[in-house]
Amino acid sequence: MIRAPWNRRIAAVASLGDESRRRLFDFVASAGEAVGRDDAAAALALPRSTASFQLDRLVQDGLLVVEFRKLGGRGGPGSGRPAKLYRAAVHEVAASVPDRNYDLAAELMVSAIEESAAGGSAREALVRAACARGQATARAATGGAATGGAGFAGFLTSEGYRPESDGEGGLVLLNCPFHRIAEGHAAVVCAMNGAFLGGAAAGFGIDPDRVQALDIEGLRAQGAAQPAQCCARIRP
């Protein structure tokens, strides 16, 4: 699964701050099929012009998509123009500042618990699940092509890591997407994170051994690391 870019998710959440847009999104998202402007306006007691404007704004903000279809089962010449209909592009939207990805951590941990219930180490199952998810996410982002370092840096940005050059041909990752849970469970979360990054690197055709653990506490003591910096770097 590819997450929408962080700025798009922030814009989507901000869009739903408008009451009319939030009500329209709730109505369309809960409908069993695509709905038209007239139906949405009538259901929410909004002027048609208001409903039309706000629905198109939700499309612009990535929350709805448009489809055109002739209604009433009629087709061919004389059956009229296709109706403009709206359906949800997403069924939920979330964003945080700084960017976090606790949903991913929860999914991986649940997968590990399910696998380990049949026997074996939960930690090893978590590492396997994280590596596999990293590879799958990278391949989805590249279409299966090994695009190398430039593509990997863009991927890290989209996943919220805030990669920056370390001045030696590698990357430091200035944001930890799992910061809150890593604070109390660093050994487990950092192992999961390293496996995810290693799998993603492999998906981009990069040696996963280039993902290297950092001594974050040591760097912080030297004033060389931010409080929420990721525990990994990408070696040159």
Would residue 179 count as lying in a domain?
Answer: yes
233 close to 172: Cβ distance less than 8 angstroms? yes
Edge-to-edge, what's the strand order for the sheet holding 83-88? 35-36, 83-88, 64-69
Query: Could you tell me if 28 and 138 lie in one domain?
Result: no
What range does the domain containing 153 cover?
A: 102-234
* Predicted local confidence at residue 91, as pLDDT: 81
Would residue 97 count as lying in a domain?
Answer: no
Query: Could you tell me if 124 and 201 lie in one domain?
Result: yes
Single-letter amino acid code for the residue at 89: A
Would residue 113 count as lying in a domain?
Answer: yes
* Predicted local confidence at residue 226, as pLDDT: 75
* Predicted local confidence at residue 148, as pLDDT: 64
Would residue 38 count as lying in a domain?
Answer: yes
* Predicted local confidence at residue 93, as pLDDT: 82
* Predicted local confidence at residue 215, as pLDDT: 73
Q: Give SS3 for 31.
A: coil
Query: Could you tell me if 16 and 113 lie in one domain?
Result: no
Would residue 1 count as lying in a domain?
Answer: no
Query: Could you tell me if 106 and 80 lie in one domain?
Result: no
* Predicted local confidence at residue 225, as pLDDT: 66
CATH code, domain carrying 54 = 1.10.10.10
Q: Which two tokens stand for residue 59?
A: 């499309």
Query: Could you tell me if 108 and 54 lie in one domain?
Result: no
pTM across the whole model: 0.78
* Predicted local confidence at residue 223, as pLDDT: 61
Query: Could you tell me if 108 and 208 lie in one domain?
Result: yes
Instruction: Give 96-130 as a DSSP string.
Output: -SS---HHHHHHHHHHHHHHHTTSS-HHHHHHHHH
Query: Could you tell me if 80 and 153 lie in one domain?
Result: no
Give how many domains the chain has, as a whole number.
2
Would residue 137 count as lying in a domain?
Answer: yes
Would residue 185 count as lying in a domain?
Answer: yes
* Predicted local confidence at residue 221, as pLDDT: 64
Query: Could you tell me if 71 and 117 lie in one domain?
Result: no
Place of tokens 């990054």: 197
pLDDT in tens, the chain (236 residues): 567 788 888 989 999 999 999 999 999 999 989 999 999 999 999 999 999 999 999 999 999 999 998 776 555 555 568 899 999 998 888 888 889 999 999 999 999 999 999 888 999 999 999 999 999 999 988 886 666 667 899 999 999 999 999 898 889 999 999 999 998 898 999 999 999 999 999 999 999 999 988 776 666 666 656 778 888 889 88
Determine the Cα–Cα distance for residues 200 and 138; give it in Å rounded to an integer: 5
Query: Could you tell me if 79 and 122 lie in one domain?
Result: no
Query: Could you tell me if 73 and 115 lie in one domain?
Result: no
Determine the Cα–Cα distance for residues 208 and 219; give it in Å rounded to an integer: 23
* Predicted local confidence at residue 216, as pLDDT: 66
Distance of CA 9 to the CA centre of its chain: 8
pLDDT tens-place string over residues 68-94: 987 765 555 555 688 999 999 988 888
* Predicted local confidence at residue 222, as pLDDT: 63
Would residue 60 count as lying in a domain?
Answer: yes
Residue from 151, 199, 192 nearest 171 by CA:
151
